[in-house]
């Protein structure tokens, strides 16, 4: 796994694209270096994470947390739109979502 730990700029560019963060060439190189250094260390977790150890996703597990099926407090349309960069006709106004072709 240690050889996988070094990230290239191209891999970071792909990850940034997946994470929807526009990133400059200069940031790419620096981030690749930082992440490679972090990954080289954190990969140590595999040393002790053997098959017989169960995973813990949550520190204090609670199960079947339900609430009564009744109408609770909700935001008004105005409140929901109050922080919107743009709105129109009581709806969020967003840039084009689907491609033209």
Partner 1 sequence: MTDTPQNRGTSQNADAPQNTDTPQSSSAQQTADLTRLTAVELSAGLRAGDFSATEVTRAHLDRIEQVEGTVNAFITVTGDVALATAAEVDRKRAAGEDLHPFAGVPVTHKDLVVTSGITTTAGSKILADWVPPYDGTVYRRTKAAGLPLLGKTNLDEFAMGSSTEHSAFGNTTNPWDTTKVPGGSSGGAAASVAAFESPFSVGTDTGGSVRQPAAFTGTVGVKPTYGSVSRYGVIAMASSLDQVGPVARSVIDAAALHQILAGHDPHDSTSLPGEVPDFLAAAQQGASGGALEGVRLGVVKQLAGKGYEDGVSAAFRSALDLAAAQGAEIVEVDCPSLGYALDAYYLIMPSEVSSNLARYDGMRFGLRVEPEDGPVTAETVMAATRAAGFGAEVKRRIILGTYALSAGYYDAYYGSAQKVRTLVQRDFAAAFEQADVLVSPTAPTTAFGFGAEKSSDPMALYLGDVATIPANLAGIPGMSLPAGLSEGLPVGFQLLAPAHEDARLYRIGAGLESALDSARGHSLLAQAPEL
Cα–Cα distances in Å, from 14 out to 6, 18, 19, 80? 15, 6, 9, 33
Shortest Å, Cβ 91 to partner 1: 11
At residue 79's C-alpha, the angle toward residues 73 and 81, to 5°, is 130
Nearer to partner 1, 4 or 90 (CB): 4
Count of residues that bind partner 1 according to CB under 8 A? 55
**Does 47 participate in binding partner 1 (rule CB under 8 A)?**
yes
Q: Give the integer Cα–Cα distance in Å for 81 and 76.
A: 9
Binding residues for partner 1, per CB under 8 A?
A: 1, 4, 7, 12, 15-23, 27, 31, 34-35, 37-39, 41-50, 53-60, 62, 65, 67, 75, 79-80, 82-86, 92, 94-97, 99
């Amino acid at each position: 796994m240690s050889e996988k730990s070094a990230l290239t700029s191209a891999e970071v560019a792909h990850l940034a694209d997946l994470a929807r963060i526009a990133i400059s060439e200069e940031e790419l190189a620096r981030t690749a270096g930082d992440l490679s250094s972090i990954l080289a260390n954190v990969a140590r977790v595999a040393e002790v994470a053997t098959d017989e150890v169960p995973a813990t996703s949550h520190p204090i597990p609670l199960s079947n947390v339900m609430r009564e099926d009744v109408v609770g407090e909700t935001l008004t349309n105005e409140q929901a739109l109050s922080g919107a960069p743009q709105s129109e006709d009581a709806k969020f106004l967003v840039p084009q979502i689907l491609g033209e072709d």
